[in-house]
Structure 1
């Protein structure tokens, strides 16, 4: 490289201040240049927002080949495009392995820095912004051209297609004119020299890799904004499928080309390869992340299962083959399989902590559950027992395994953890009469199901629902299960288990099909007990409690009619039901008390059904 001092004004490059190490506190303010008959270098030295430019000049001049400061202090005239401190900080961030100007620590790198700085200088003329024209090509001291645009203010486009905008124009100095710009411009010469360390956007990186050409085509064929999105600030982590991966994906789904894939589907598939944030391979852990795909229920972001037990595998199918391809706005990991949009079954199969569940669901070539939970027309909430839950489950009641598994599935609703409250849902399991069993969700302390099983990992989002991993297999509930799980029945449980009372728990836990099951229980809530002047005890309490239970019948709300008299309760008296024009059901008890309200119906257990009532019923005390 020739001595810049001899080349005269070429030193004007200095203003580029390529890799500023730090930014002034004034960087967010409009730069104020103090001229006072100063030359370009002196003006820059007095401007805090150009301190990085001054440092870059000095660093370049450490090479014996350069004398930029002297050149830009000479007679001129020059036109200088001066990047701000923020511009240099951004440029430094694009260079992998460069933390500060101190990393330009040899003559070759310092000469390269001078090359970049000269790309910001026009020698022999002081060109004002008003003299620029749309589409004009100007030759820099470095030898390459910049393209001028006046469409959105005054901008210059460099060899990489990056655009720098003039933020302060026409600052006149003793030996030229300065235009402050917001980005460091890079000539092709420097691009070639920095190819191994210059970080481009994720989009540009994909374009530059031949084996990702179909991915680039897919980005354009899907949502036309995707290339722009992945060129923006981010940061993003992208799992980028190779051409071979796309070809296999097309063949497996009977598509001849990308054009045959519905645009919305292709867009969501591509977004399912993108995670917010920069996650290098060394930062990856086994677990779930949320992709940018909104193909989940209610446009929820799909979950992505990352497994690093043997390499890096995504959703059980796609393996990272080339990790940590850094970009200015994130990182790209190249993968060998297109990551499809996972349904609930896909997520269950991908997670090694759910292998026992998958084995149970598919035992003896059973396809009932895989067919059901692959249904794309229905949303599901699945409480998925972990392997450890199955290890500890002994099935003490000998219930059918398929029915137990169905009792972990809610059909028709995708409930995330935030939407859950203390309430009942119907599961896909049914009792002997075909009534769907209930499941009680309590969120007072975490999320607990039927009082026995806690959610260990929430909100695994699939295209057709949400999985919550649980720590205990949820056995088929008895009426006792709900009484003890629901805090609204704590007073009733206290009465049932009071000293001197019969073993109601054992009786009401009787399996369905064994007398006296099934049961219909009218369960007073806590407020009903609180309204009593005095809670009875002994034989009187026994009679009262028996008056709330009908044995040998599973009477659901649909079985009730106006004027219906029930079978005898365990106490011996009957109940009478009244249904008004608004379908509200009230009960007349054995002692003639009326307007006893049913406030919640059809809490369905495997051995009976519970209806919550607002008043403690009293039997006929005269018989």
Structure 2
């Protein structure tokens, strides 16, 4: 109706103009024009097109004032079209059919070849499933190709009311299959449709026809299929069982409805051709939430065809029926688990989904839930993952990953290394595991669901994001350092917790901390003849604690050299081969645990408190 009103207005204007005198108000003859119709009429190569325009009643339209772009098929193109469709001549083509085909070659506005880019534009034709105009896919990769079937052979023939591009084939009325074939971004989707077809269902025929039409198709791009194959650890579509592929494809189709993006409703539950439903989410852009709980963004909308509409999406949608039978990698498991959807998004942002899709390596991942990420973002004053620099987010995620598959029963009270690294080095950050009451990581995150098996490792779901640790993190997390923490946080002491949390690169960070364990403090009390920390005066305690910290240096065990070293409280003597420290009183402390690596320094545990 919209198109007919538009054309009616143009025809009225045309006939009004024709009905007026050929002279202007002063009686001066009007110059002859060079309309699109004039160009067609003057070129014998377009005689079939001229006859078709007359037969369809469109000659006056393309002779009118206005701006049009016309993809003009030559005579050979019309002959091929008529033969392919079983017509002996133009007279045998129904007028309404011919009219829509011709309008499918006309675009409103002037689009020179230099203006055309790869993507979708809209013709003046309409199809049987909607009153909206049909889409044309323009591909400028090599010349200009329209809908994958017609190429521009002569461009930019300028007219007074637009521009003409000669094409070598008639652009037929497109169906959904036409547009899937035309756009290279859907090439894997086309392969999937073919691979899934059997004697019971032929997807190419189904999506080309009118049975169960109109269709609404949410079409995954090539990158979407590649991500799915990686998640499943597969190399090609041929590795996906045909019945599973059918289940997945059916979940992308709505039958009997031409649902354009403006028809979508936030929170709407949509029943698919597969039988299960997905949910529409319009907050922050149009998205689909499938059975995995992970959003798929609608990245191209309203590709209108004769038998339905196509919307391109950036993730393959998965129904529960598909999730139940696949063997996902860790990244795939995150993608398919509703409560890990934020983790899956973070992995995609950082590219770590590729790492955790690798079936040739094994990993253990402490996987934060969506609520964990929400709390982490709120605590850091952030509104979304996109507010975090990618490199920083990468390190946070790697701080949840261990090499190898480690079941919960194999975890002990001990330090291990995550895949996150210190500064610009290859030195991995440490992680403290405590199993005294369940499994706690770095004193901040508890395992809520253990031992979820994936194809390439183990996932332990945790209730908090494990932020990048400082030296204070480990002192607080490890109960063996509880006496040290009590000393550092005693009210009469400097704010050691804040000082030792200083970000790396900001003075006095980084730090090297020689951390006495609880046994060392108990021995000190005996040595000094006191009962507890309370019996040591504030100034003395401050002096003692300063003896355990080297400022502005991250000295790992392999970097220790024998000789004097200056701490915040004075000099100590390092014996590197024997990993001992001698204080100014000649007392010797053994380094019993090395290289507890934090983001702002390194901790070495010692068995005797150093005295000034």
Instruction: Please report the TM-score for the alignment, with normalisation by the length of structure 1.
Output: 0.46
